[in-house]
Amino acid sequence: METKSLSLSKSDFKLLKEHLEKSNMSAYNKEKLRIELKEATIYAEEDLPADVVCLKSEAKIANTKTGQEFIFTLVMPEEANIQVKKVSVFAPIGIALFGYRTNDIINWEMPDGIQEFKILTVKRN
């Protein structure tokens, strides 16, 4: 399976890079993110394509095995609130999706093992 490179704004790239250093994510995810950041395409904020998952964007994703769909908005940790579908960019699923685009398929290690998700839609709020 081909891995697409991440598309990130300058500020999102900096955010992820800083988080990677002090994060307690699994070795699998840490290594995956390290490689993705190395190969990422960096954009000026205003040039980031509209279908890229970034801070404050709303993503609709589906688990490719179960077909279960999820919709949430990526926010900074202090704004996270699962009741209103706001997920921290540093939550496992937040980091997994960050920088990917509509129709991309992502594999990410969750507490219950490696899961595969497809990004169905992305909306900027």
Calpha distance 94→70 (Å, rounded): 12
Calpha distance 71→69 (Å, rounded): 7
Phi, psi of 90 (to 5 degrees): -95, 0
2, pLDDT greater than 80: no
Q: Report pLDDT digits (tens) over 16-59.
A: 998 887 878 788 888 888 999 999 999 999 999 999 999 999 99
Q: Report pLDDT digits (tens) over 47-76.
A: 999 999 999 999 999 999 999 999 999 999
* pLDDT > 70 fraction of the chain, expressed in percent and rounded: 98
Q: Report pLDDT digits (tens) over 69-85.
A: 999 999 999 999 989 99
- pTM, two decimals, is 0.86
Calpha distance 3→125 (Å, rounded): 27
Calpha distance 113→35 (Å, rounded): 20
N-terminal to C-terminal alpha carbon distance within the chain:
31
What are the distances in angstroms from CA 51 to CA 7, 12, 27, 32, 91? 10, 15, 28, 22, 20
Q: Strand ranges (DSSP E) for the chain?
A: 7-9, 41-43, 57-63, 69-75, 86-88, 105-110, 113-124
